[in-house]
Amino acid sequence: MSTAERAGSPGAGDGTSTGARPAAGEGEGEGDTPDGKGATAAASAGVDHRAARLPDPPFTAEHEELRGSIRRWVETELQPHVQEWEDAEWVPSSVFRRAGELGFLGLAYPAELGGQGGGPIHEAVLQQELARSGSAGLAAALGAPITIATPPILKFGTPEQQVRWVPPVLAGEKVAALAITEPGTGSDVAGVQTTARKVDGGFVVTGEKCYITGGVRADHLVAAVKTKDADPPARHGGISFLVIERPPAPEGSEDDPAALGADRGDGITARPLQKLGWHASDTALISLQDVFVPDDHLLGELHGAFKLIMSNFAWERISMALGAVAGMEAVLETTKAYVAQRRAFGRRIADFQGTRWALAEMGTKAEACRALTFAALRKHELGVVTPMEVAQVKLLTQRAMVEVADGCLQLHGGAGYMKEYGIERALRDARLGPIGGGTDEIMKDVIGRLMGV
């Protein structure tokens, strides 16, 4: 049975995919005029503009079948509620359970842990389709627990730890959050100041974590902590990963951020932060005051978390690139439809040369990002992607998403500034891309150093 078959489907549909590319020659011919005569000429030359779409490498027919199922779910069960969840700054817990019920949270996880037994390409399909929901906050809320928080447990946890913490997340019953960033460190991962003091039977953790996706609702945190002092040249050697569990939330509070974030007698408080974008996703400032963590919650080797964190960045950054590529496609589709029907000065906005040129530039930029992203995805699946390639794809796609969203808003004119078309949300959401997961400046420095500069 394929991964697509094991993952449930919420209903029937045509399975049209963003991963499917036009057959050769599909689209308007060179030198097309607004009346479409160029396209007619191309057709008469033997180009079939109605040819079937083919999957884009590295996607196969199985992945496209899965895409159809996920897209139907997104369009029928998520998109109708996006504005409601954006306004509430919260995605209901029932949505996580529904995603788990359909098998979408465990696409890349082994069956023995409750997953679907697929690989990164299957999860890539999910990332793309969630990005097309129109809310990066929704995509982050559902995606972060499986994309960045749980992989360290899967890769480096003991069998007992995997059985304890992975299946509930894949079922949508519990939420995990990755807790690395701190108020005073930002992108300086090796500079974490949250301490874990060794005591009999475990550790006592004290410090703060900030900008933590899903931190308010998280049932457990995969947290980077300082377990020993290290000299500046080797300061990364004093960091460890601890899984910090929270006690059960008060009954009836699963969708009450204030109650979920309050101290439950464990010394942990989580406060939601107000953001420019990603409104549907809770982003938390977490305070840890003398929190006891048992010895068996240590993930990997003591003082050995830095290399685990670095290994986790590759998939996080490729996932962000996948989301940006899908997001660019979505806003371009919306914009093309808008300029085709909006009229000014007696003709369609689409009929102005400036409009076509703007769309041509943005479409080319999106296509370049797609090519680089899919190349990195293929290499990641094979285990041969390099840190430079990951940094390059992250750097290119995140800034491009901002520029494309801004260009599409401009073509909407005043309407783009309104909530109705979702373009203003796309621009707000996109602005986190050049910051989160490693800033543009960090990516440039990584690339430059690896170039030998």
Which residues form the catalytic set? 316
Contact 23, 48 (CB under 8 A): yes
Residue for token pair 């109708």: 80
Classify residue 405 as exposed, middle or buried by CB count within 10 Å of its CB (0-12, 13-18, 19+).
buried
What torsion, rounded to 10 degrees, do the Cα atoms 340, 342, 347, 353 define? -60
Gap between the Cα atoms of 112 and 220, Å rounded = 21
What are residue 23's phi and psi, to 5 degrees? -70, 160
Contact 18, 324 (CB under 8 A): no
Contact 329, 359 (CB under 8 A): no
Burial code (b: 16+ CB inside 10 Å, e: under 16) for 73-102 equals: bbbeebbebbbebbeebbbebebbebbbeb
Gap between the Cα atoms of 110 and 151, Å rounded = 12
- DSSP β-bridge partners for residue 224: 241
